[in-house]
Amino acid sequence: MRWLLWPLEGLLQMRGLLFPWVPVFLGAGIGLWFALEVEPGLLAYAGGALGLVLLLVLWWFGPELLHPPVVIAGCLLAGFLAAGARAHLVAAPMLERPYSGPVQGRIVDIDRSQSDALRLTLDQVVLDLPPEATPHRVRIALHGDRVVPDPGQVVLVTARLAAPEGPTEPGGFDFRRMAFFDGLGAVGYTRTPVVVWQDPAPGAQAINRLRMQLSRAIMTALPGDAGAFAAGAMTGDRSGITKDTVEALRDSNLAHLLAISGMNMAFLTGFVFVLLRYGLALVPPVALRINTKKIAAVVAFGVALFYLLLSGSNVATERAFLMVAVMLGAVLFDRRALTMRSVALAAIVLLLWQPESLTEPGFQLSFAATVALIAGFGALEGAVLRERLPRWLIPLFTLVLSSIIAGVATAPFAAAHFNRFTDYGLLANLLTVPVMSLLMASGAMAALLAPLGLAAPALWLMELAARWILFVAHWIAGLEGAVTPVVAPGPWVLPLLTLAGAWLVLMRGRLRWGAILPCALGLVLWAMTERPLALVSADGALVGVLGPQGRGLSAAKGAGFTAGNWLEKDGDLANQTAAFGRPGFSGPKSARLFELGKDGTDKSTLVRGVVLTGKAPDLAMACAAADLVILSSDAATSTAPSCRVIDRGLLRKTGALAIWPAEEGLVMQPARRAGRIWAGGRALPPLPPIRPRQ
């Protein structure tokens, strides 16, 4: 029986190296909470809290041999409880039905949608609804309005609002869940002018107003796309960046330059730290009496905190700020600044504070790159950087190596979330990352020199840097084969690849080779990924059927976001118009006919379907010709239809539907997990399969 204790003894011997595993198991507990199909009840949370207390007692009074498994179990429970607590703390009303009418609110954010429309996020919302049913925040896209209000202003507008939609397909990105944790209870649009109802109160939205003022100052000094990019990189305000620029940055793997993440934060705080440290060192009375290194660290921390608030405090910026805070704290206490423990500490704080960030691409990409860079350079520091390379070659070697390591570490996450691999991303980053440091440094110098009226040279350098970056982005994005489409992976792929990466980085010796198993399993599962036979949009207006030439769509226009998302997840670069021209549908626009089945050669197994999008469709006639009828409206009939009907009434409960072949016929998988707190409903009963009528 002694062999049963070997794993525990091995973990105990590694206890000085196990701290970085804490966020891994915290994340596993959070992931378990998000993976549940039904909302945990009070009994589940009480049991989890009691279990956590018992584990704490066992850790305190139990044998040291049990400490590692006790900490692992405690982290799992802590992550689970943190996610549940966060969800109930941020819970706020969401619209129960579409709303059309007056909207009053205070502007707290201004950004731009994927369709290039300017959007306003409002709080202190007033609608023609009872206060308990009014969302705390709403977001409105401006169609046709050219006047841009300022943050802090109270505005009045007539808009059409609806609750945030769920995933465009089962297992897809859940915008409704993200909106729930952001306190966003409704989204919509307006085609009427925005009326400024009240100017900002003194001190209201001061940081947001300062961001917009700085952004507009930059864009006034640097007109065009270069100014908009520089403003986005320096302040986080992307409202001036055009859709074409965003797509070029994405297809060239340079979108991270606008993320206000670790690189931007490091460039700015590093510049301030170096400027102060060596600037003060030039003043002998100061240098001889004061530790200029620690003074520089304190000032750089203040700059980092200000930049965090100015940029809007997204997940990547928060992670970068926590890392900078730990590093500068290490400088103050004469400790090594950048280690795996500091990354782990930043991850723990962020996961306990905002557990939902685990599900967001920014968190995954940011930490994957940071962990890989620390591990990679830590392994090469003594063997290569200090012994085998001349000093003049180290900067170039560092640039190339950091781009390769970060690119390899983030590639699986980027491909899984964005369904594309940027083939020339490494070249684009090598050509732009050094210039990005020049842009950030010149922006900081411009801010320092602006009160003296001497900012022109710094602004000129910033414009040159921005123009170069945009030139590279458009050039790389325009190359043939710049983007390779990738099929969206199944739910277990990213957890397995994450486990493999953590195992490779955190384990020591031959145990590292254990990472091969989860990595290989994850890649095999990804390669075996299958896509749904058919997809139905949440409003019933669009249907996509998988065929030999790819997914064919029932409509050439409308539901563009849904159509693009389906095609991207298929690993398909075609647009909606091209997909509409593929085989799969026939008939007029108002009654699109299609067939579904496991075996296209056996007509007895085919389900005949029709998509009806016109007003007042004849359901009886449609059922006479089809086994499945999909409506973009509510089915109006007093008698039970003779065929299976998917109408708006059903889709309001299920969200988008995926249809899969199975032994019992065709099974429907709903996208909306109605049992969760953000969906606001009860768990759905299983949907009966679809079978052809005999």
Over pLDDT 70: what percentage of the chain? 90
In the numeric block, which tokens belong to residue 446? 């411009």
In the numeric block, which tokens belong to residue 36? 């549940």
Residue 11: pLDDT over 60: yes
Instruction: Give pTM, 2 decimals.
Output: 0.88
- What's the pLDDT band for 601 if we cut at 50, 70, 90? very low
Give the residue extent of every domain in the chain: 2-90, 99-203, 212-485, 493-527, 534-670
> Residue 473 is which amino acid?
A
Least confident segment among 5-9, 89-93, 139-143, 497-501: 5-9
Please give the pLDDT value at position 351.
93
Please give the pLDDT value at position 137.
94
Please give the pLDDT value at position 633.
82
Task: Give the mean pLDDT of 119-125.
Answer: 91
CA torsion sign, 206 to 198 to 117 to 95?
positive
CA torsion sign, 209 to 214 to 215 to 217?
positive
**Average per-residue pLDDT for the chain:** 84
Residue 159: pLDDT over 80: yes
Q: pLDDT tens digit string along 484-496?
A: 999 999 989 999 9
Q: Please tell me the distance from the alpha carbon of residue 180 to that of residue 176, in angstroms, as a whole number.
A: 6
Please give the pLDDT value at position 598.
57
In the numeric block, which tokens belong to residue 140? 């409105």
Q: Nearest Cα to 427, choosing from 391, 460, 476?
A: 476
- What's the pLDDT band for 623 if we cut at 50, 70, 90? confident
Helix (H) or strand (E) holding 137: strand 137-142
Q: How many CB atoms lie within 10 A of CB 682?
A: 11
Q: Please tell me the distance from the alpha carbon of residue 292 to that of residue 41, in angstroms, as a whole number.
A: 55
Long-range contacts of 427-430 (CB under 8 A, 24+ apart): 427/476, 428/252, 428/253, 428/254, 428/472, 428/473, 428/476, 429/253, 429/254, 429/403, 430/399, 430/400, 430/403
Q: Are 682 and 670 in contact (CB under 8 A)?
A: no
Please give the pLDDT value at position 390.
67
Query: Higher confidence at residue 17 or residue 172?
Result: 172
Query: Higher confidence at residue 403 or residue 160?
Result: 160
Give every CB contact of residue 314 below 8 A, 6+ residues apart in sequence: 236, 259, 260, 362
The CATH architecture one would assign to domain 99-203 is Beta Barrel (2.40)
Q: pLDDT tens digit string along 441-479?
A: 888 888 888 888 888 888 999 999 999 999 999 999 999
Please give the pLDDT value at position 144.
72
Please give the pLDDT value at position 147.
65
What three-state secondary structure class fits 632?
coil
Q: pLDDT tens digit string along 309-344?
A: 877 766 667 777 887 887 788 777 777 666 788 888
Q: What residue has token string 């850790």?
A: 59
Burial of 475 (0-12, 13-18, 19+ CB in 10 A): middle
- What's the pLDDT band for 355 if we cut at 50, 70, 90? very high
What three-state secondary structure class fits 657?
strand
Q: Please tell me the distance from the alpha carbon of residue 620 to that of residue 38, in angstroms, as a whole number.
A: 37
- What's the pLDDT band for 498 if we cut at 50, 70, 90? very high
- Listed in sequence order, the DSSP H helices in 91-205 are 175-181
Q: What is the CA radius of gyration of the chain?
A: 28
In the numeric block, which tokens belong to residue 286? 């100061």
Give every CB contact of residue 535 below 8 A, 6+ residues apart in sequence: 169, 543, 544, 551, 566, 656, 657, 658, 659
Please give the pLDDT value at position 658.
94
Let me know the angle formed at the C-alpha of 82 by 500 and 56, rounded to the nearest 5 degrees.
Answer: 85
Interhelix angle 394-418/425-449, rounded to 10 degrees, is 110
> Residue 635 is which amino acid?
A
Please give the pLDDT value at position 388.
65
In the numeric block, which tokens belong to residue 59? 């850790």
Interhelix angle 225-235/243-251, rounded to 10 degrees, is 70
In the numeric block, which tokens belong to residue 13? 């011997």
Q: Please tell me the distance from the alpha carbon of residue 188 to that of residue 139, in angstroms, as a whole number.
A: 6
- Listed in sequence order, the DSSP H helices in 450-528 are 456-478, 493-506, 516-527
Q: Are 516 and 524 in contact (CB under 8 A)?
A: no
Give every CB contact of residue 393 below 8 A, 6+ residues apart in sequence: none
What three-state secondary structure class fits 20?
coil
- What's the pLDDT band for 48 if we cut at 50, 70, 90? very high
- What's the pLDDT band for 565 if we cut at 50, 70, 90? very high
